[in-house]
Structure 1
């Protein structure tokens, strides 16, 4: 809870440091809380589950979703198996999100189902780091697996500064085909169109009740500026709180700042937890 509001953070990276490229740590230390990293990682670069759970509790996080990522050329390998010990420590608070890369996994639908069997509650794809378009038909078996399982598809929708990124693949227009072809698939736009797609992302979320804006990596102080062309009251009700931890100074600080931007307490409750609970099929414990 944060100031009486349940809090769900749907976008955290908790990888084993030896599996990552050096740019990942530069990003984490440059934008995040170095002291928090030191508290939750052991000397070998592995997250200590109890320490991480305690950190989340201190920040007011009721549920945290940890992301796997298979992007060996850009950030490295955040394999889902490395997240399992962290999630098992407190499965009520800590969940995991699957990831597939069409250049590494085949058949994609089987890999999605394998990761779901490990406990994943959603699938994230990262076209910018993995180098593919979201509407590539090779990805359709993965989307079909998501639709059949009733889980959301999280899509990186924003620029990335990591060397090797292909930012042209962040354009949300690529998802038009996916939304048309998968009529029961929910899509979450991670980073909310960061860069030069804010308007496109906002339009999609306002026009389609299966599309959501996810706030990871977006400074709260600039959100009104980013989405200035759109009805703020309507758009906030389509938002889901997320931080992109560890690339954030503090989860609680971001949550409080987001809460103050909401037009009323009902909307704040939706942004901080209610929308995530609905979209990711999560249950908050009492």
Structure 2
């Protein structure tokens, strides 16, 4: 069943809700109000909605002809999609070298900066590409990316626009935190994050760096997340950004983490692409608490790198890795994955039901 009723996303993203006053003046019902969440009461004839009308957005006609990325704005038929990997970068947080790479590799980067600064614009974009929920990925990595601890408050504030649809991820850097346990607990209780992000190549440590006693704070982060039932996303695979240490992207480090914290839900981002995919699949077969986030794996290579992916169909998650170098757009990633020769049941799990289990 379509979670927001029978109204199609491709139609509703072109409208906004407005309150009609006694003299005919119109004003927005609520900043960033979701048409999807409000329509059920309208259809039931709720008296409190008698002066509410749907008004076409000024850009509606443009978006019918051209989508956000310059392609036709067609909406996939599969409802309830969760994109578990959308990047959130607070304005002014990126190092100049990183911004230069993004501008050169991503057409329309200036427009992307605007969208990532205004959650209402991003929710409109989610509507246009028929994504119900997005995980907003943010992490502390001043050495490589420029992100500092204030990125946590930024992503949480951004997600406040619609917490049913925007799921913020926070971060505690084990070398920068004086009290990792307290900081993880604060992210969970005060900022209400949906998960944690660890990026070994950008934070410059292996995912199991606690094992030899050199980074005890990392063990505390995992242990606290396990107790609080917070999923932890870990980047695996290489990174192109200056200063990144791709050796820390080897997914085999998660063999320790999965065994030492068996109740911890681990989201293996990118499946070790492009050079550690076999090791990643071994870990997915071995550890039931590891999920595969397919973001940043080019859809045409997914079945080449994971030819037996349907054997782990209950633990694969769709992620777009947008906005990022080489990612054309969320809609393009969805359409390319949907075009792969996978069973309908596998696609439903990948796009919808697995994420609902991890993020109920």
TM over 0.5: yes
Larger radius of gyration: 2
How many Å separate the matches in 1 of 2:112 and 2:158? 11
Shift of residue 106, structure 1, vs aligned partner: 2.1
Give the structure 1 partner of residue 139 of structure 2: 69
State the 1:66 CA deviation. 0.7
1:132 to 205, 208, 231: 205
**Helix, strand or coil for the counterpart of 2:239?**
coil
In 2, the alpha carbon distance for the partners of 1:250 and 1:222 equals 17
Aligned residue number for residue 92 of structure 2:
18
| Contact kept in structure 2, 1:31 and 1:249, CA below 8 Å | no
Change (3 A) 1:238 1:261: farther
How has the CA–CA distance of structure 1 residues 24 and 9 changed in structure 2, closer, same or farther, with 3 Å as cutoff?
Answer: farther
Q: How far apart, in 2, do the equivalents of 1:223 and 1:209 lie? A: 21
Cα distance in 2 between the residues matched to 1:237 and 1:181:
22
Residue 122 (structure 2) pairs with residue 52 (structure 1): yes
Larger RCO, structures 1/2 (Cα 8 Å, 6+ apart):
1
Classify 1:31/1:62 alpha carbon distance in 2 versus 1 (closer, same or farther; 3 Å). Answer: farther
Structure 2 segments unaligned to the other structure (5+ residues): 1-8, 10-75, 211-215
1:108 corresponds to which of 174, 180, 199: 180
Cα distance in 2 for residues equivalent to 1:111 and 1:213:
26
Once the two structures are TM-superposed, the CA of residue 207 in structure 1 deviates from its matched residue by 2.2
Q: Which of 263, 273, 283 is the aligned partner of 1:184?
A: 263
Structure 2 distance, partners of 1:31, 1:198, is: 25
Matched length: 275
Partner Cα separation in structure 1 for residue 127 and residue 95 of structure 2: 29
Unaligned runs of 5+ in 1: none
Match of 2:163 among 68, 78, 91: 91
Q: Distance in 1 between matches of 2:273 and 2:104?
A: 18
Does the 8 Å CA contact 2:170/2:193 hold for their aligned counterparts? yes
**Shift in Å at residue 205 of structure 1?**
0.9
CA contact (8 A) 1:40 1:55 kept: no
For the pair 1:146 / 2:225, whether they are aligned, the reply is yes
The 5 A counterparts of 1:1-286 are 2-32=76-106, 34-35=107-108, 37-39=109-111, 41-42=113-114, 47-77=117-147, 79-117=151-189, 118-137=191-210, 138=216, 139-228=218-307, 231-247=308-324, 248-261=327-340, 263-279=342-358, 281-282=359-360
Structure 2 vs 1, CA of residues 25 and 61 (structure 1 numbering), >3 Å: closer, same or farther? farther
Runs of 4+ in 1 over 4 A off after TM superposition: none
Quick one: distance in 2 between partners of 1:97 and 1:155? 12
TM (normalized to structure 1)? 0.89
- CA change 1:46–1:244 in 2 (3 A) is closer
Q: 8 Å contact 2:116–2:122 — kept in the other structure? A: no
Q: Deviations for 1:69-102, whole angstroms, at most 9, x for unmatched residues?
A: 1111111116111113321111111110111211
Kindly state the Cα deviation for residue 136 of structure 1 after the two structures are TM-superposed: 2.1
